[in-house]
Amino acid sequence: MKINFNVPPHTGKELEYIRQCIEAEKICGDGAFTKKCNAWIEERTGTKKALLTTSCTHATEMTALLLGIKEGDEVIMPSYTFVSTADAFVLRGATAVFVDIRPDTLNIDEKLIESAITERTRAIVPVHYAGVACEMDTIMDIAKRHSLYVVEDAAQGVMASYKGKALGAIGDMGCFSFHETKNYSMGEGGALLLNRDGYIDMAEIIREKGTDRSRFFRGQVDKYTWQEAGSSYLPSDMNAAYLYAQLEIADEINDARLKIWNCYYEGLRSLAETGKIELPTVPEGCVHNAHMFYIKTKDQEERAALKAFLGEKGILAVSHYVPLHSAPAGKKYGRFAGEDRYTTKESERILRLPLYYGLTEEQNELIIDLVKEFYAG
Ligand SMILES: *Cc1c(COP(=O)(O)O)cnc(C)c1O
């Protein structure tokens, strides 16, 4: 018996949709399925404009280009995140300024952001860890008072919300990931959400090699030309076709994931009540999307032992981020503002349990039983 940590989602419709692309002889970017995916995101999140991209990393890179991030700028973000959050800005010459996380949600501690602001700060990048929202009201208020941009790293936040607003659609811009490890996937892919006027034309140009090809296809210009420095950030329509098969039944996938998450939560509650482990916190006003189920062990040693115990039984449980400020590139391109009270400590206690669309109830129960067995022994 073997239970993987993740299995990429698929619904059965993917091949049919990819076949439609091939038969339509339209497999490059911005075909029918890309448009359907963009429309789905716009409708479900309320963003002004959604553009499918080749990854969330690339969507974030686009935000750095759109905001004109340059050498000497500073961008505030948590250290407990994926490398792409920092890469996108560091590539443009900015310094990543890391702020500590809250121990309850593992999101950036909104109360520590203001003291990390300098005259060089340009943007705040909240990361909605595990699809649980950061404290966005506070963050948006700080950004407004200091004239800073907010770029949401909502890679894990598709279908999650904060006080009724979709994650990714709250800040100036938001970024989704459709990597195979995310709730909805196209292998490699993502989306840029533009929530304010004024960036849409430029985003279309940057995404299409710096040309106004999008305007040309809409018949707004009679030939397209090189307008700005850009790159190629649009995915093949075949990838979009794969994704659309999931977006179509996103509610069903979301419900199935939440059922698994809730089963873990209820099943492991007794261990939390006796102080053996800690369970995730979902603050009031946050609706999460069951992107991830993690537990917190006592410390790193206990985590390694539990991971090995589950591994022997064929169950793949995994740790998560190595804090960026402790990594070689993090030391070179970033600095930690304030004290690292929780980032390192909490990162060493996290163990993520298998959670994917298609994990069965029996597997779900078995994993719970084994975690309990570990703590009983
Ligand atoms: C997955 C992830 C990314 C990167 O997404 P890609 O689509 O693989 O580029 C960025 N940030 C966070 C928080 C992620 O979880």
Q: Which atom of ligand 1 is nearest to the CA of 181?
A: 1
The span from the first CA to the last CA of the chain, in angstroms, equals 22
Distance 56 CA to ligand 1 centre (A): 5
Distance 183 CA to ligand 1 centre (A): 12
What does pTM read for this prediction? 0.98
pLDDT band at 260 (very low <50, low <70, confident <90, very high): very high
CA-based radius of gyration for the chain: 21
pLDDT band at 157 (very low <50, low <70, confident <90, very high): very high
Span 95-113, average pLDDT: 98
SS3 182: coil
Buried b / exposed e along 163-190 (16+ C-beta atoms within 10 A): eeebbbbbbbbbbbbbbeebbbbbebbb
Distance 252 CA to ligand 1 centre (A): 23
pLDDT of residue 85: 98
Distance 82 CA to ligand 1 centre (A): 6
Choice from 52, 75, 82, 101 to test ligand 1 binding pocket (greatest atom count within 8 A of CB): 82
| Strand (E) or helix (H) holding 183 | none
Q: Enter the DSSP assignment of 113.
A: T
Span 186-192, average pLDDT: 98
Distance 220 CA to ligand 1 centre (A): 34
Query: Above pLDDT 70, what percent of the chain?
Result: 100
List the one residue out of 257, 231, 236, 127 whose CA is nearest residue 186: 236
- Asked if 89 contacts 41 with a C-beta cutoff of 8 angstroms, the reply is no
**Residue 152 identity (one-letter amino acid):** E
In Å, what is the CA distance from 200 to each residue of 14, 284, 351?
30, 33, 40
pLDDT of 235 higher than 90: yes
Distance 39 CA to ligand 1 centre (A): 22
> By alpha-carbon position, which residue is closest to atom 5 of ligand 1?
56
| Tens digits of residue pLDDT in 53-93 | 999 999 999 999 999 999 999 999 999 999 999 999 999 99
SS3 46: coil
Residues constituting the chain: 377
Distance 229 CA to ligand 1 centre (A): 24
> By alpha-carbon position, which residue is closest to atom 14 of ligand 1?
155
| Tens digits of residue pLDDT in 289-328 | 999 999 999 999 999 999 999 999 999 999 999 999 999 9
Q: Which atom of ligand 1 is nearest to the CA of 178?
A: 7
State the Cα–Cα distance between residues 7 and 219, nearest whole angstrom: 42
Q: Enter the DSSP assignment of 186.
A: -
Say which residues have a Cβ less than 8 Å from residue 67's Cβ, sequence separation at least 6: 122, 123, 149, 151, 172, 173
Q: Diameter of the chain by CA atoms?
A: 73
Q: In what order do the strands lie in the sheet with 165-166?
A: 165-166, 161-162, 286-287
Choice from 79, 84, 176 to test ligand 1 binding pocket (greatest atom count within 8 A of CB): 84
Q: In what order do the strands lie in the sheet with 121-124?
A: 49-53, 190-194, 173-177, 149-153, 121-124, 74-78, 95-99, 334-336
| Whole-number average pLDDT of the chain | 97
- Asked if 323 contacts 343 with a C-beta cutoff of 8 angstroms, the reply is yes
pLDDT band at 377 (very low <50, low <70, confident <90, very high): confident
Q: Are strands 161-162 and 334-336 parallel, antiparallel or unpaired?
A: unpaired
In Å, what is the CA distance from 236 to each residue of 22, 62, 94, 128, 151?
11, 18, 31, 27, 25
Say which residues have a Cβ less than 8 Å from residue 218's Cβ, sequence separation at least 6: none
All domains in the chain, ordered by first residue? 14-247 (3.40.640.10), 250-376 (3.90.1150.10)
List the one residue out of 120, 97, 235 whose CA is nearest residue 178: 235
SS3 366: helix
State the Cα–Cα distance between residues 244 and 40, nearest whole angstrom: 9
List the one residue out of 190, 103, 94 whose CA is nearest residue 148: 94
Distance 365 CA to ligand 1 centre (A): 29
Name residues contacting ligand 1 (CB within 6 A).
Answer: 55-57, 81-82, 84-85, 127, 153, 155-156, 177, 179, 190
Q: Which atom of ligand 1 is nearest to the CA of 128?
A: 13
- Asked if 356 contacts 183 with a C-beta cutoff of 8 angstroms, the reply is no
- Asked if 120 contacts 93 with a C-beta cutoff of 8 angstroms, the reply is no
